[in-house]
Amino acid sequence: MGHADAGSQYTSVRFTEHLDLEGIRPSIGSVGDAYDNALMESVIGLFKAERIRTTVFHTGPYGGLAEVEWATAGWVDWYNNRRLHSSLDYLTPEEFKQAHYAAISREAQPA
C-alpha cells in the first residue's frame, strides 16, 4: 500500500455520524478524495521550491545527505519559528505566540 491507511474508525459511517451530531468536522478527507494529504503535499512542495530547488539559501548542488538534512532542519526551524505570516498580522509564529501568552497573563491579573 503506497498510501497512508486512514483507519476504519475514521471512515466508518457511525463515526462520521457521531462527529456530525457533535458538530465536529473530521480532520482528514476520505481516502482518495482531493483533500487526502493535501496539506502535507503542499508543505513538501513549498519546502522543495524554497529550500532544495533554489540557490537562495545555498550555492551550487548539495554535497550529500548530511547537507540536505542540515538544510531541512534549518528550513523547518525558520518555517515554524521565524517566517512572517500574513494570517498572524505579519508576525513570526514565535512573536505571535509570545504576544498571545502575554495577553493571557495580563487578563489573569486582578486589577
Exposed / middle / buried, residue 105 (Cβ in 10 Å: 0-12, 13-18, 19+): exposed
Each as own residue / partner, the long-range contacts of residues 79-82 (CB below 8 Å, 24 or more positions apart, any chain) are: 79/47
Q: What is the full per-residue pLDDT of the chain (111 aa) written as tens digits?
A: 444 555 554 456 777 777 788 887 766 656 555 555 677 778 888 888 888 888 777 777 888 999 888 888 988 898 888 889 899 999 999 899 999 999 988 766 665
Measured in degrees and rounded to the nearest 5, phi and psi for residue 5 equal: -80, 120
Give the residue extent of every domain in the chain: 1-34
